[in-house]
A = this chain, B = another copy of it.
Amino acid sequence: MSPDIEALIRKISGLPGLGPRSARRIVIHLIKNREQVMEPILNGLENLYKNVKICPICSNVDSFSAICSICSDENRIKDTICIVESVADLWAVERTACFHGQYHVLKGLLSSMEGRGPEFLMLDQLQRRCEKNKVSEIIIALSATLEGQTTSHYIKDFFKNKNIKITMLAHGIPVGGELDYLDDGTLFAAFSARN
């Protein structure tokens, strides 16, 4: 194997979910399909590399304009902001098409283990935005993990007495989930929040 190809495989194997074996398969697939597969991916990556921008308002990524397509969409509701952990989570919420407001993407969850403090939440910036746009509701849509819940409560505390409704995603049985296979915590939450 030529050193160039070896170096590329090493780099690709560091991507999330990939290892040396899958990286080799991908590189061979690219080599075998130089025009049909490698060229479009190469052009797409080049385009992304040149044009990707982080929105200064909500920290979403976009490849067109400085202000992202969600913040600049005149048809979206301005007075509701949904807080998500990452752009991946923003995309997940967008796929449900059940939310038509604005977003606030965190730089990460609070974590004393990994040294992430409140500055990763950019709450001052969010508060200024709330005041400017007369935001009436903040939806905290963070994972139901320890770090996610700690961060949720920190944010809830921060906005206490600021005249903004703070809501969190409901906990309960996943749609399609069978009771028998649920963990105790989820079943307990589903019982507590019964309606």
Contacts and interface: CB of A to CB of B under 8 A. Distances in A.
Given A8-B45, A63-B4, A88 B28 contact: yes
A30 interface: yes
A61 B38 CA distance: 15
A39 interface: yes
- Chain A interface size range: 35 or more
Nearest to A7: B44
Given A4-B64, A14-B37, A46-B46, 5 more contacts: A4-B51, A17-B18, A17-B25, A24-B88, A31-B61
B41 A8 contact: yes
A87 B28 contact: yes
A47 interface: yes
Give the secondary structure class of A's interface. Answer: helix
Interface string A10-41: 01101111100010111111110010011111
Contact of A24 (B24, B41, B48, B91): B91
A45 B45 contact: yes
Contacts of A94: 1
A37 B51 contact: no
